[in-house]
Structure 1
């Protein structure tokens, strides 16, 4: 969601907090990273959030916390790229540059707690419950606040984040590998774009390795090191995530959904869906 050019990381400055409002048809759609931790609320728009081994959905009202230098993308759904649909996306983000604090206030006892919090934010978290409600209230009218008021609100928000509590839900199964080189970042961006745009069709290992300009063996090592999943596992997770969306938002039959998201047989779809959710598509649809 940041307007940072993909993987060209700005140098840390002397500003602890930066506030950004994103407004447009869709969110920034390149895999990217930046040296600031970010707290993002989705106001309008839906799509897929990709962070490390996590593949999931975002929708209005969601509140996410991402650690520093972690590659991620809020990829808006395909319909948000079609001007005829006249859809819009919006979100507000606070960026926290903890390096600025370490330089100037790292020895102050009260700020050591913030430094420790930053160390705990290794991945992506979804914030729920009373913490979410309080943080969203603090986001209101943030842009019109003075510098000191913004700092007070920002620190108040951070004080509400208790990593490990039931309201701060870790979305990554495995801690995220922070930071990619610019070269690897561009390569991963190309790969992720191709997967997202073609996930409903068969994608061979030869085909995706070619997108990364690698041999199959080198690509498999490269991809698993950065996502902690095999390419097949990642592609299946994307397809099941899309299937959940269709099960919730449409009246399409399960067989139709199966083929629409890229499974070649209904039996394979049912088996994969159950292995990932412990439910059949039919029972999942009823319960959600």
Structure 2
């Protein structure tokens, strides 16, 4: 689905910008921008779309979104009682001097991961709500310290859910291993063809069992599941951004049969590809 680029109000010399809205209407279309965005929404009932993820939300919602990640909220209510506090900060913050210090390593990882979108549940959500209410502007050192504290709290939180798939979010995770980087690049360039575990293990001069253990330790996911997630991410990208027939999407993403494709997609999304596309379009266009 088509999205528009938003021009945010942040200036080059601003550490961040804070925006507060009461009775928010959520009438802005699917969009993206160059900045990071931390959104806290309260008294909300509706849906949230981030990348290829669409979820129903009721109550409060706290999300951190990276640059270029498309997103939109849609309210179920014509008259809204929802309030929104938004912190936006520039993409180059990730590469600033302060992020090069060892004490910032957790925040740096958080910002890398936010390129897929992250939602936070309680108790983190309640803690951040209290902190964000204390920020009155971006022109005091106290507010800047609170901003850094918020990022630190989020970076050490366990109340985390990753929202969008790597492929749909166009997410390039920082690599900690040359071997893992080699394999991920191979998948990126060859996902349309059959990829065997023996082949990728041979590429890094390891046995299949050693490679499987190594890959999972480095990434937190088995190679088989990584490959499946990557292909399903390709699928959702086609479903949300093109009108390609679903049977063509299946083979474009590297699946060798429609039955395997439908089974894998339903296992991940709890719905068929057709239902997913219909629900996504309904949430975006309504």
- TM-score by length of structure 2 reads 0.55
Q: Partners of 1:97 and 1:66 in 2: how far apart?
A: 12
| Partner in structure 1 of residue 84 of structure 2 | 91
Runs of at least 5 residues in structure 2 that lack an aligned partner in the other structure:
172-240, 254-267
**How far is 1:91 from its partner?**
0.7
**How far is 1:124 from its partner?**
2.3
| Partner in structure 1 of residue 230 of structure 2 | none
2:17/2:88 contact within 8 Å kept: yes
1:247-288 superposed Cα distances (whole Å, 9 cap, x missing partner): xxxxxxxxxxxxxxxxxxxxxxxxxxxxxxxxxxxxxxxxxx
Which runs of structure 2 are paired with 1:232-247 in the superposition (5 Å)? 232-235=274-277, 237=279
- TM-score by length of structure 1 reads 0.54
Q: What is the aligned counterpart of 1:169 among 134, 141, 161? A: 161
Structure 1 pair 63/122, CA: closer, same or farther in 2 (3 Å)? same
In the TM superposition, structure 1's runs of 4+ consecutive aligned residues that sit over 6 Å from their partners are none
1:114-160 superposed Cα distances (whole Å, 9 cap, x missing partner): 33321122322221233222211101232268521111111111111
| Partner in structure 1 of residue 21 of structure 2 | 22
Q: Partners of 1:108 and 1:166 in 2: how far apart?
A: 23
**How far is 1:9 from its partner?**
5.1
Runs of at least 5 residues in structure 1 that lack an aligned partner in the other structure:
81-85, 180-211, 242-288
Structure 1 pair 45/118, CA: closer, same or farther in 2 (3 Å)? same
Which runs of structure 2 are paired with 1:166-205 in the superposition (5 Å)? 166-172=158-164, 174=166, 176-178=168-170
1:122/1:176 contact within 8 Å kept: no
1:67/1:121 contact within 8 Å kept: yes
| Partner in structure 1 of residue 229 of structure 2 | none
Root-mean-square deviation (CA, aligned residues, Å) is: 4.1
1:71/1:178 contact within 8 Å kept: no
2:94/2:111 contact within 8 Å kept: no
Tell me the secondary structure at the aligned position of residue 169 of structure 2. coil
